[in-house]
Amino acid sequence: MVVLSVAAAFLACAVGARKVQAQEDRPPSARTQKSSRVRESPPKTAEEPQQDRNRIRVDVNLVSVLVSVLDEHNRPAPDLPVEAFQIFDEDNPQTITVFEKETEQPLDLLLMVDASLSAQLGMPAQREAASRFIQLVLRKGDRLAVYAFDEDVTQLAAFSDNVTRLEEAVRRIPLGAGTSIYDAVYLGSQVLARQGSDRRRVIVLVTDGGETTSRADFDSARREAVRSGTLLYTVVVRAVKSEGGRNTAGEHALETITDTTGGAVFYPDGAAELEAIFERINRELRTQYRLGYYPKPRGPADTYRRIEVTVTAPRQAAASASGASAPSGPVYSVRHRKSYYTGQP
C-alpha cells in the first residue's frame, strides 16, 4: 500500500500556490512546482537506460484530441467520416492529419474511490459495480490501478491487467475520515503523466462530492489534469438528494474540472444505477474518435491553448461546403478536452 501526500509540497511552495490562484492562465513553469511523487517510482539515474535511448519519441508538435460524439439519445455516434469534424486551435481552423473512428490506443486507467465516512453508506454497492467495471473495461494492452482517497490518497493496486488482483484491491478499500478530491485528481494526473505518452490517460472518480481535506486547490487540480492530458469521468454518489444537505459547491467544481478534460459527470439516483453508469463509461471509451493535428500557427512554448471541436452530419457538412441549404439531420453533442499544454521550450 502506497500513500501519496501533497502536504510537504504545499508547505514548500505556498507563495507559488497563491500565484496560481490569482493568475488563471499562468503556465506551470511560471510558478513554484509541487514536489509530490509516488514513492514507489524510483528516481531516474543520470544516464538513460539503453532501451529508453532507443525508444521512438512521440512527436510533441502533434496535438491529439479524444472526442466523444453522442446522438440526441445520449448514445455513441459511430462511423462518422473525417469530413464531419472541424477542429479549431485558438479559433484558427486546423487540418486534421490523424483520424481514428475507434481509437486503438490502449488505456492507462485509474479507478479512484472515495473512502471517507460520508461515502461509506453505499460502499458495498460501489465495490460490486467497480468490480464489474474492471471486468468490462480491460482489454489486451490496457492497464488499471486502484486508489482510495480520504484525507490521504492511497494506492491499493499498481497498474495491472490482472482482474482478480484488482478486484481484491477494490474489496480492501479502507474506512477513512476526510475527502481529498482535489488531491486525488492532482496526484492521479501526475501518476498518469509518468506513463507512456502513446496511451490514453483516464481517471474514473467515485465520490460523494464533499471536498473537505485536500491540500491541492481547484486550480492546481484542473491544471494538472490538463497538463497531463487526463480524461476524467466522475460518478457522484449522493447519500442526500436535497441540495440543503449536500456540498453543491464541491459538485460544481467537479463538473468544471471534468468538462475541461472532455469527460462526463454522472449522478446515479441509487446504487442500482452504478453498474449501468460504469457500462456507459466503458462503451464511450470504446467508441471515441481520435483526432490529431499540427497547430498552425503554433503557440509559444509553456502556454495553454484552447481547443474547440464541432461535428456536423455528413450531408449537412457537404451542403454547407457547396453553399446549398443544409438539410435537417441529427444533432450531436460533442465532448473533448478544452485545452492543451504546449510543453517546455
Which pLDDT score, from 0 to 100, does residue 241 have? 57
Using pLDDT thresholds of 50, 70 and 90, give the confidence band for residue 317. low
Mean pLDDT of 54-71: 75
Can you read off the three cell numbers belonging to residue 164?
482478480
DSSP for 192-239 reads HHTS-TTSEEEEEEEE-S---S-SS-HHHHHHHHHHHTEEEEEEE--S
Q: In this model, does residue 46 exceed pLDDT 50?
A: no
> How high is the pLDDT of residue 328?
62
Question: Which ranges of the chain does DSSP label H, i.e. alpha helix?
Answer: 7-12, 14-22, 50-53, 123-137, 163-171, 181-193, 218-228, 248-261, 274-285, 314-322
pLDDT at 124 over 70: yes
Residue 324 or residue 309, greater confidence: 309
Would you state the pLDDT for residue 327? 53
| Residue pLDDT, tens place only, 193-239 | 999 888 999 999 999 888 999 999 999 999 999 999 999 999 998 76
Considering only CA atoms, which of 4, 64, 30 is closest in space to residue 223?
30
Instruction: Determine the residue type at 227.
Output: R
Instruction: For CATH 3.40.50.410, list the domain ranges present in the chain.
Output: 104-285
Helix (H, G, I), strand (E, B) or coil at 159: strand
Contact present, 329 and 313 (Cβ < 8 Å): yes
% the chain with pLDDT above 70: 76
CATH of 104-285, one of 3.40.30.10, 3.20.20.70, 3.40.50.410, 3.40.50.300: 3.40.50.410
Each residue of 68-100: pLDDT tens digit? 999 988 899 989 999 999 999 999 999 999 999
Residue 174 pLDDT: 86
pLDDT at 27 > cutoff 60: no
Identify the pLDDT of residue 320.
56
